[in-house]
Structure 1
Amino acid sequence: MLAPAVPAQATRLPAVQIMKVYYDSPGSDLRSNASLNGEYVTIRNTTRRAIDLAGRTLRDKAGYTYTFGGDVLLGAGKKLTIRSGQGGDGTSSVFWGRRAYVWNNDKDSAYIRNACGCGTTTGRPGNQSTDCADTPEDTRSRSLHAGTS
């Protein structure tokens, strides 16, 4: 009788995962608030428990950084969209409050890190890892190229 093969190291989803980055808002880049909010990042809680996002950061390769406030709780299995422009924060979207674009239109990288600063070590989809693999605060990066989301 043969035992089933078990991978040497099982890949575990990060607790907070970047699901989509819409880095090139539709239409001309006129820096209108509607256009700024047309670029966004959607994250998802991959666990069965709510996660307090207080102190976590979302940033791009150039270092533009959004820090989650103490009032953002991401429910189990829920998604949250972070929009670049201004608006009223709610349960499904929060707003960076910028008056200029964050994400490059042709390619960029997105990183989400926990409050202690643990975060990504790579930025290519399919080759994603974290330096906090033993904590529930795992994070993920996503490298963005034209046509990839």
Structure 2
Amino acid sequence: MLGTSNSAATTSTLTSKKGPALALKGTGPVLSMGNSALIKGLNADLLDGRSASDLLPGSVLTTTVVTTSRGLLVDADGDGRADLGAIAECPAGLRIIGGGWTNRTGYPVSRVTVGNSDGKAHRTVFVSMPNAADHQGELKATAHCQGPLPAAARPRHHRN
């Protein structure tokens, strides 16, 4: 009966010759369980063939790399003068998801690049100024890196 509490001594079965045998509709949860028993065919331990431990935040490595400008003097703008540079490089296999720089030189940042070389993603920041060598340590590049955590480093989860 609909709208009242029901109970049965044996398993009840719904059948339909047209459409689904049961369609639940509502503004809140449409199905709840009165216990924690597993239901064959309803509970799942894999999603697209991946276990829950593969989907946990612990299976992703997120790190921030900050590099201070020391010794990176390059003519980045082609004006014949050495520009001060700082490069932040992600560990191999990780990608850059953000980043930035800190510039205490008193000169504006003239160039920012984000690239990939030797399998490592990097962010490079340059400041074009006179006497760049006198300002080493005043420019920092930051890269926020993310990627899969190597399988050996993933937390292990055991099922009972």
TM range (shorter): 0.3 to 0.5
Taking CA–CA contacts closer than 8 Å with sequence separation of 6 or more, which of the two structures ends up with the larger relative contact order?
Answer: 2
Give the alignment's TM-score, normalised by structure 2: 0.31
Task: Report the structure, 1 or 2, having the larger helix content.
Answer: 2
Give the alignment's TM-score, normalised by structure 1: 0.32
Q: Which has the larger radius of gyration?
A: 2
